[in-house]
Amino acid sequence: MRSPGALVPVLLSLAALGHGSSLGAQELQGLAVECARERPDLLLRCQDLAVAVRAHQTGLGLVATGGAVVPGNASTLGRRVGRTPRVALSTRLGLAAMNVPDVLGGVEVPASEESFYVNTAQIGLAVGVLDGFSLVPTLGGILALDLFADADFLFLPGSEGYVRNVGAWGVGGRLGILRESFTAPGITVSVAWRNLDRVQIGELAERDPFEMDLCLSARSLRIVAGKDLFGLGLLAGLGWDRYVSDVSLELAPAPSPSGEGTAAGDVTRARDLGTTRRLLFGGASMTFLVIQISAEVGWGEGFGDLPGRESGGFDPEDSTFFGGVAARITF
């Protein structure tokens, strides 16, 4: 098991994620060029498809990661009397607004914007591993450590081209800066790794203009602070996500030069297509003995446009919103 100190390099590397936007634009440009390599007349269409890959990547990644890694909680769990770990079980229902180019049903270039919501159901488990240490009686939980894991199910709307619903799983650790006390707020820093099942958008067998597959993973950093005020718990946080996908994009077959039948469709593949996103979120909770009910809302920034793509239509720099409600029991 890694010590709390071993998490520091990971946190520093994740904090630098916001500097990768130019590299992400180059990767996206390469995907569009490769898509149109055999059919240069489709370059503008392929640019929209490349931006659609990024839009689905960031949207689905946001649905899976959400805000606080333990719903409604800004402090590490710690250990019970007798040194046994404290355990928290939670369930969360979340949603995120998805803004994507309408490349499936639209024909204009650049593509117009399509907006919809994606819902998720999550079950989570967190365990207090280390109590940390105290400077004074009211300033404790320093370098306390929790480990957590969760499983998600994403409900993807077939009307937007998704072929099936998908599952996701995540693991991570949460390091205590301060544990909440009568005079001090709870402050934690967490890292998480999440993977989604393969996502398919469009289906050539159903006469869609393309078929897109995404194998998506996400690395997340969250900094959360919170305080219980007369029975009402409040928290606020900021975060950075890094999404990485292996992409397969197949265009519908083109008419053959002879006019008889069709030529084979073109398949474009890209590995480790990555992008980053910054988040802000906040929430409130009420605790009833060992059961806590909480709600959360958040904001996620957009991403950079493809260099040379025509203006108008879908704007990838538009921000988006997410939220959820959760129940947690701690024992």
| Cα separation, 96 vs 175, whole angstroms | 27
Q: What is the pLDDT of residues 237-253, one digit of tens each?
A: 999 999 999 999 998 88
Using DSSP, state whether 134 is helix, strand or coil.
coil
- Global pTM value: 0.86
Q: How far is CA 117 from CA 50, 52, 101, in A?
A: 21, 16, 14
What is the number of alpha carbons within 13 Å of residue 195 lying toward its C-beta? 5
| Cα separation, 294 vs 33, whole angstroms | 46
Q: Cis peptide before 85, with omega less than 30 degrees from 0?
A: no
| Cα separation, 125 vs 32, whole angstroms | 41
* Residue pair 54/275 in contact by the 8 Å Cβ criterion: yes
| Cα separation, 111 vs 101, whole angstroms | 5
Please state whether beta strands 210-229 and 232-251 pair in parallel, antiparallel, or not at all (unpaired): antiparallel
Nearest to 58, CA basis, from 304, 306, 324: 304
* Predicted pLDDT of residue 12: 38
The residue count for the chain = 331
Q: How far is CA 247 from CA 47, 53, 99, 200, in A?
A: 15, 8, 19, 10
* Residue pair 263/278 in contact by the 8 Å Cβ criterion: no
CA dihedral of 72, 76, 82, 83, whole degrees rounded to 10? 140
| Cα separation, 244 vs 229, whole angstroms | 39
Using DSSP, state whether 123 is helix, strand or coil.
strand
Cα 263 vs. chain centroid, distance in angstroms? 38
The residue type at 232: L
- Continuous segment of H or E residues that includes residue 35: helix 21-35
Nearest to 100, CA basis, from 112, 111, 114, 110: 114
Token pair recorded at residue 155 = 């409900």
Instruction: Kindly report the three-state secondary structure assignment for every residue of 216-229.
Output: EEEEEEEEEEEEEE
* Predicted pLDDT of residue 14: 43
Q: Which residues of the chain have pLDDT under 70?
A: 1-24, 81-82, 106, 255-266
The angle subtended at Cα 148 by Cα 144 and Cα 154, nearest 5°, is 150
Q: For the chain, give me the number of helices (H) and strands (E)?
A: 3, 11
Q: What is the pLDDT of residues 116-149, one digit of tens each?
A: 999 999 999 999 999 999 988 888 899 999 999 9
* Predicted pLDDT of residue 258: 53
* Residue pair 101/51 in contact by the 8 Å Cβ criterion: yes
* Predicted pLDDT of residue 82: 63
Question: For 180-266, where are the E strands, in sequence order?
Answer: 186-196, 199-201, 210-229, 232-251
In which region does residue 82 sit, left (phi positive, over 0), alpha (psi from -120 to 50) or beta (all else)? left
* Predicted pLDDT of residue 257: 58
